Amino acid sequence: MSKRDFLTTAGMTRHELDDLLDLATRIKGKRPGQVLGGKTLGMLFFQPSLRTRVSFEVGMVQLGGHCINLSSDDLYELEPNEQTIMDGRAEEHVKDAALTLSRYVDALGIRAAARTSTWEHDRQELLLRSYARHASVPVINLETVFEHPCQALADVLTMRENLVSLKSRKLTLMWCNHPEPKSLGPTHSVLQLAALMGMDVTLAHPLGFDIDHEVLARSKTAASDAGGSVRVSNDREEACKGAEVMYARSWGCTKYWDDNEREAMVKRSLQGWRVDEQLMATTNNALLMHPLPVRRNVAATDAVLDGERSRIYDQAANRAHVQKALLMQLLK
């Protein structure tokens, strides 16, 4: 059998998604035994991580396996491109690192979510895709600037637990202000899975903060096929009316992806783009979701983050459950 990777939510079928979520639900609150006894997951973090690292490590231990975690301090500068004369900063080619690590571990998780160049360059996920191409073991996307599929799995599980059926449910995926430039990973991944589930999604953002055009087009098609819809609104208040799920998340401006100062200038007039009690009052008693970490009273106020409709900690908890299901499917 050829190895299976988990790099993206794009291309998942509804059957595959339901199978994984059903498995996560069955094992939630239980210890499925030593089903991955003797297996080792290697995780490479080129950026900081709290929930992703801990949830995968806890999940792997509960399944009887082990984790090895490496940070950027442990890793050489890597070259992902082929046929390159390596006389620059890169000390090692990804090919050599991937093939070596494949001799040690049973799966690899990669977090490479830093801005490095233009959007057209970074959206290619060169480091992740190079690892997947060369490794002989499954590779899992732990977040890039383009996708964060494991987060989206937990988000959809959380919505399903609260709303049961997601078809035609109204989700507002809203851009929120943030002092730092953020990735589009969670936004792209949750949009694609919500579309696959047939939700009616409103993507709300200020002018200039469009998501990737291919992701938007793909999500519109998937939603239509599943009996849902995807629309874009640049009106914060209008976009939130009647929402049953309010998903707050900041993401970067692809137009100024390689110009942080210009993006910061644009955001100075957008401080009103946050979730507060007044905005939540216009919804249909919406659940509040955010993938964390969150800038309190910048992206969302304390009142809504700590309110009774907040599900931010349920999302975080569900990371471990969906990832256990994923690991079982990839490694068992």
Is residue 61 located within the same domain as residue 178? no
How confident is the model over 131-183, as pLDDT tens digits? 999 999 999 999 999 999 999 999 999 999 999 999 999 999 999 999 999 99
Place 75 in a pLDDT band, splitting at 50, 70 and 90.
confident
CA 52 – CA 34 distance, rounded (Å): 22
Read off the CATH number of the domain in which 200 is found.
Answer: 3.40.50.1370
Does some domain include residue 86?
yes
Closest by Cα among 43, 116, 51, 122 to 77: 116
Residues 138, 188, single domain; the answer is no
Q: Which helix (H) or strand (E) holds 96?
A: helix 94-102
Q: What is the mean pLDDT of the chain?
A: 95
Give the pLDDT band of residue 9 (cuts 50, 70, 90). Answer: very high
Question: 324 and 305, same structural domain?
Answer: no
57 phi and psi, to 5 degrees?
Answer: -65, -45
How sure is the predictor about 250, in pLDDT bands with cuts at 50, 70 and 90? very high
Q: Is residue 309 part of a domain?
A: yes
Residue 9: inside a domain, yes or no? Answer: no
Q: Does the residue 170 lie in any domain?
A: yes
Tell me, what's the pLDDT at 1?
Answer: 40
DSSP 63: T
Instruction: Give the model confidence (pLDDT) of 302-331 as tens digits.
Output: 999 999 999 999 999 999 999 999 999 999
Two tokens, residue 82:
């082929």
Query: Does 92 lie in the same domain as 230?
Result: no
Q: Is the CB of residue 243 less than 8 Å from the CB of residue 284?
A: yes
Q: What pTM was estimated for this model as a whole?
A: 0.96
State yes or no: pLDDT of 30 exceeds 90. no
Give the pLDDT score at 2: 59
- Look at residue 40 and tell me if it is in a domain: yes
Cα torsion 152, 157, 161, 166: sign? positive
Contact 141, 148 (CB under 8 A): yes
What is the rounded distance in angstroms from the CA atom of residue 221 to the CA atom of residue 208? 23
- In the chain, the number of structural domains is 2
Looking at the structure, do residues 166 and 141 belong to the same domain, yes or no? Answer: no
Same domain, 131 and 210: no
Cα radius of gyration (the chain): 20
Dist CA 153 CA 137 (whole Å): 22
Residue 58 lies in a domain: yes
Q: Are residues 49 and 180 in the same domain?
A: no
Are 105 and 210 in a shared domain?
no
193: nearest Cα among 152, 136, 250: 152
Distance CA 110, CA 42 (A): 9
- Encode pLDDT of 215-231 as tens digits: 999 999 999 999 999 99
- Which structural domain range is residue 227 located in? 151-315
Query: Mean of the pLDDT values across residues 178-195?
Result: 96
pLDDT of residue 221: 98
CA distance 220 to 280: 26
- Whether 33 is in a domain gets the answer yes
Say yes or no: 212 and 303 in one domain. Answer: yes
CB-neighbour burial class of residue 295 (10 A; exposed 0-12, middle 13-18, buried 19+): middle
245 with 326, same domain? no
Digit-coded pLDDT (tens) for 85-133: 999 888 999 999 999 999 999 999 999 999 999 999 999 999 999 999 9
Flag whether 136 is in a domain. Answer: yes
21 and 89 housed in the same domain: yes
Question: Domain check: are 309 and 262 in the same one?
Answer: yes
